[in-house]
A and B are shown apart, each in its own frame.
Chain A
Amino acid sequence: MMQAKEIMTQDVVTVRGSATIADAITKMKDKGLRALIVEPRYNGDPYGIVTETDVVYKVAAHGHDPKKMYVYEIMTKPCIVVNPELGAEYVARLFANTRIRRAPVIQNGLLGVISISDILRKSDFVEKPKSDFDRYCEENPGAREARMYD
Chain B
Amino acid sequence: MLSKIPIMFERRSPDSARGYFSFFVGLAVFVAGTLATYIAQNADRPISAALIYVSAVTIIGAVNGLRGGLLAGIGASFFYNFFFSEPLLDFGVTTSDEYIPLLAFNLSALLSGVLAGRINDRARAAEIAQQKINLLLDISNQLQTAVHLEDIDRAIVETGIFDSAQEFEIHALSEDEWIAVKGKEHWLAEAQQAIERGELQHVEDQKIAYLLSSSQRRVGVLICNQNAQKSKRLSKIDFAAVLNLLSMAIDRFVLLHQKSEAEAMRRSEEFKTALLSSISHDMRTPLAAISASASSLISYGEKLPEASRKDMLTIIQDQCERLNRYTTNLLNLGRLQAGISPDQLESLDLVEMLGSAVNTVKVHHGGREIIKSLPFDACTVRANPVMLEQLFYNILENAIQYSPDAAPVLITGHKQAGHVEIAISDQGCGIPVSELSRVFDRFYRSAENVRKEGHGLGLSIASGFAQAFGGNISAHSPLEKGKGTKIIVKLPATSTTSESIGK
A binds B: no
A residues apposed to B, CB below 8 Å: none
A-binding residues in B (CB < 8 A): none
